[in-house]
Structure 1
Amino acid sequence: MNPDRRDFLNWSLQGTGATALTNLLLKDQVHASDTSLVTHYPAKAKRVIHICLVGGMSHIDSFDPKPHLTKNHGKEANLSEKPDIFFGRVGPLRGADWEFKARGKSGLMVSEMFPHIAEQADKITVIRSMVTQSANHTPALFFENSGF
């Protein structure tokens, strides 16, 4: 596959359309509900930038350090379940290629790959709690961006 600008725009518009549809459907659902949405804390954010790096670097190399994985770099994985894999086997464990340091007053762990972002560590939020039932990237990414 050799995507061009037209493919990129098509994919972007599909994502935007799915997001708009989800927003419209959720508004209908909220109006149909007798209970109002209650949050634990009042919202403080004025702006949100959602960075979705399809085909980008691994989370393990950017904002999600895995010390146990780095410690066991190169060793075979001890798996209790058979993973959903493409090539019929699981390779050795691979730790991060970049060093992490605690940044800012918050102590956010940021890879040395992002020295300028690290300077803003107290002004950003990193979500590490997203999970999905799919082990394959394409359906997991679709679910992340659309909720379906």
Structure 2
Amino acid sequence: MKQQSISAPHSRRHFLASGSMGIGSLALSWLLNQDQALAKPAVVRPELEKKQFDLSLKPTHHPPRAKAMISMFMQGGPSHLDMFDPKPMLQKYDGKKFPGDIKYDNAAQASSKVLGSPWKFSKHGQCGMELSELVPGLSEVVDDIVLMRSMHTSVNNHGQSI
């Protein structure tokens, strides 16, 4: 499989073209403010505010043993299906039409073709953790780390699933 460069060079013209909408909206908001044409500030109604998660510390079931933790939140990073999460059924149906029902968030760009990972997975360490060939350095320390597979969402759109 041919590897593509992650960072493509951008020209000044590309930067100005992609940033012009942001600069234009800033200018428009300033002009509207000068003409007193902006809407009045919204009235805050706490009873309508979205409930927040309680992130305060709570007692644990067992005394903690870990001294430190590294959390990798990789929005926009490589897919977990290509690095940490082998799916044998994806490989079985790779390139074929999905046999079940699909709910699309964006039907205009939707495809029912199944796409398996192009990378090979193998078991590593005493624990037998399966990792792809994309993370060879991680395979040397699998017995010293924890891989949590506990996320679940009912939305298949990345931004809303976070």
TM more than 0.5? yes
How far 1:106 sits from its partner (Å)? Answer: 0.3
TM-score, normalised via structure 2 length: 0.60
Identical counterparts, % of pairs: 33
Map 1:13-32 → 2, pairs under 5 A: 25-27=54-56
Q: Name the CA distance, whole Å, in 2 between partners of 1:118 and 1:65.
A: 15
- CA 1:130/1:66 → structure 2, altered by over 3 Å: closer, same or farther? same
- Residue segments in structure 2 that go unaligned for 5+ positions in a row: 1-13, 20-51
The reply to whether residue 53 of structure 1 matches residue 82 of structure 2 is no
Question: In structure 1, the residue corresponding to 2:55 is in which secondary structure?
Answer: helix
The reply to whether residue 126 of structure 1 matches residue 138 of structure 2 is no
Aligned counterpart, 2:118: 97
- Residue segments in structure 1 that go unaligned for 5+ positions in a row: 5-21, 31-35, 142-148
Off by >4 Å, runs of 4+ in structure 1? 1-4
How far 1:82 sits from its partner (Å)? Answer: 2.5
Give the counterpart letter for 1:60 in structure 2. L
How far 1:46 sits from its partner (Å)? Answer: 1.7
Aligned counterpart, 1:75: 96
- CA 1:42/1:85 → structure 2, altered by over 3 Å: closer, same or farther? farther
Q: 2:59 aligns with which of 34, 37, 40?
A: 37
The reply to whether residue 107 of structure 1 matches residue 128 of structure 2 is yes
Greater displacement, 56-65 / 88-97: 88-97
TM-score, normalised via structure 1 length: 0.65
Higher relative contact order (CA 8 A, sep 6+): 1
Root mean square deviation of aligned Cα: 2.8
Deviations 1:28-57 (A, max 9, x none): xx7xxxxx7342x44332211111111111
Q: Name the CA distance, whole Å, in 2 between partners of 1:76 and 1:112.
A: 27
Higher Cα Rg, which structure: 2
Aligned pairs, number: 115
The structure where helix makes up a greater share of residues is 1
